[in-house]
Structure 1
Amino acid sequence: MADTMHLKKDEIVASSLQQMQSQLAVEKMPLREAVAETCRILFAFGHDSGLSGQITARAEKPGTYWTQRLGLGFDEINADNLLLVNDDLQVLEGTGMPNPANRFHSWLYRARPDVNCIVHSHAPHVSALAMLEVPLIVSHMDACVLYDQCAFLPKWPGIPVGNEEGEIISKAIGDKKAILLSHHGLLVTGSTVEEACVLGVMFERAARLQLLAMAAGEIQPIDPELGREAQRWVSTPKRMEVTFAYYSRRASRGHNLPPL
């Protein structure tokens, strides 16, 4: 005889979350490996755009972070060719130079102590929305990880290599986890590398779903309370870790990437 059929939804949710926490085992990567793997995952999911896009993560020393070397594509990044840079983009460890566009990352790290990783890419479906100057609309369960978490910058400030762009973007995102930058691309933040990676992948999927729906008709909104409920359900640290691990396995299977 089933003994859970009488439980309320919130009781089942709480029990399921507890079960996930105790039974979903995943081995976390060291920080540098996780940053490199994020680059490779984004490549596998179609986020590459030549040398555009940056992934950064706070390092142990305050005011420093790891990022990829300019001149390498997402699929060429490994833990050994990452750069350690400071807020002024001076290289402290590694060979080469960072992307000058990393400057707006420095501004965001200063404004948001809760952010430990930033993913920025010019993924195609996000870029298409950016060209239309249309905000991201979250209206499907899969995309609810971004429900009420995505800001919108309607005016393109130009190439993001100056301090002005850093000020504009860090203010526009506010306390949200993500932002759609008009005529540019996506930016997501995470308290961990795993979270930022997952949000980046899901941002592009949400944009693709939106464009498909817009082509067929008018997008209907979801109930705000249910959207927030879904956002909480899929946003636990354990869920992010397990999803990141799956993305990593999928990337390695699908693209024959070399070892880290």
Structure 2
Amino acid sequence: MTYKPTRYDADESIAAVLDDVARAHRILELEGHGDMSMGHLSYRDPWGRGLWLKRGNLALSEVEGDDFILIDFDGAVLQGTGLRHIEWPLHAEIMRARPDVNFVGHSHAHYATVLGAAEGEKLMPYNNHGVWFAEHDVPRYDKTAHIITEVHRGVEVAEALGEAQAIFLANHGVAFVGATVEEVTLTGIFLEKASRFQVDMRSAGLTPITPDPEEIKEKFARIYPKKAQGNFWMFFNRRLERYEEHFGIGMTTDIQH
């Protein structure tokens, strides 16, 4: 299918959100989630038609506001042009199961994928980023190491995710969710940062200190109130702007390094 740039003028509020979701893709590229043209975020359509999903064949760093297609929960394309990602069931089934979730992300972030491929390894709140996940932990889906292209696999991932904010997809990557674009972006970023911290500790042979669970709950409330989440979102937007002023949209971190 030939891609034609499309602006969603029927509802400018949708267009505004998709601009932010596009920026979230590019921020996640800067924060270690890029893997060629793989990885994608979605946004629950506010009119109940389904979800807006990044079109295929684009790197996270290349996504702009018109790079989305609207699909229903059975995968039918309703609006927009371009390739539909074959892992659409991952997004659709998580949203079906979680009415509180408006945004779903999937990537192959390196350190989180390493941790997800390690048998028996559990993400721990060893640093501030790990605290983000302390309430529900990060479960692991290990019924297959394949990509999630079948509806029944999407259902299984959603069941394994439960009420958590992120899940390891064993030998594959990660999925993460949020009620807001700020929340899903921070969840993805903090998952990779916490995973890197834990992998680094294991690699150095250090013995980690496990914080008190009750203290962790209070710590989360103190360092991650909604105001702070908004401040962090704006920080990453400023970082993105500085990067793109120098390199432009579309430069991947792989090329940079």
Q: TM-score, normalised by structure 2?
A: 0.84
Q: 1:234 to 1:88 in 2, by over 3 A?
A: farther
The alpha carbon displacement at 1:218 in A equals 2.5
2:123 aligns with 136
**1:69-103 deviations in whole A, cap 9, x for unaligned?**
11111111100122122112222221112211021
Determine if the alignment matches structure 1 residue 121 to structure 2 residue 107: yes
Determine if the alignment matches structure 1 residue 175 to structure 2 residue 171: no
Q: 1:211 aligns with which of 199, 220, 239?
A: 199
Rounded Cα–Cα distance in structure 1 between residues aligned with 2:107 and 2:248: 20
The alpha carbon displacement at 1:154 in A equals 5.1
Q: 1:222 aligns with which of 199, 211, 218?
A: 211
Rounded Cα–Cα distance in structure 2 between residues aligned with 1:64 and 1:173: 20
Amino acid at match of 1:257: G
The number of equivalent residue pairs is: 231
The more displaced of 178-187 and 250-259 is: 250-259
Rounded Cα–Cα distance in structure 2 between residues aligned with 1:153 and 1:63: 30
Q: 2:97 aligns with which of 97, 102, 111?
A: 111
Rounded Cα–Cα distance in structure 2 between residues aligned with 1:149 and 1:86: 29
Amino acid at match of 1:149: H
Determine if the alignment matches structure 1 residue 242 to structure 2 residue 231: yes
1:15 aligns with none
Determine if the alignment matches structure 1 residue 40 to structure 2 residue 26: yes
The alpha carbon displacement at 1:161 in A equals 0.4
Q: 1:180 to 1:150 in 2, by over 3 A?
A: farther
Do the aligned residues in 2 keep the contact of 1:65 with 1:86 (CA within 8 Å)?
Answer: yes
Rounded Cα–Cα distance in structure 2 between residues aligned with 1:118 and 1:181: 14
Determine if the alignment matches structure 1 residue 155 to structure 2 residue 146: no
Ranges in structure 2 where 5+ consecutive residues have no aligned partner: 1-14, 251-257
**1:142-172 deviations in whole A, cap 9, x for unaligned?**
4312223333225242220011211211111
The structure with more radius of gyration? 1
Match of 2:230, SS? Answer: helix
Rounded Cα–Cα distance in structure 1 between residues aligned with 2:85 and 2:221: 34
Q: Please list, as runs of the form range in 1=range in 2, the aligned pairs for 1:56-135 lying within 5 A after superposition.
A: 56-133=42-119, 134-135=121-122
Ranges in structure 1 where 5+ consecutive residues have no aligned partner: 1-28
Q: TM-score, normalised by structure 1?
A: 0.83
1:253 aligns with 242
Match of 1:195, SS? Answer: helix
1:19 aligns with none
Rounded Cα–Cα distance in structure 1 between residues aligned with 2:226 and 2:77: 31
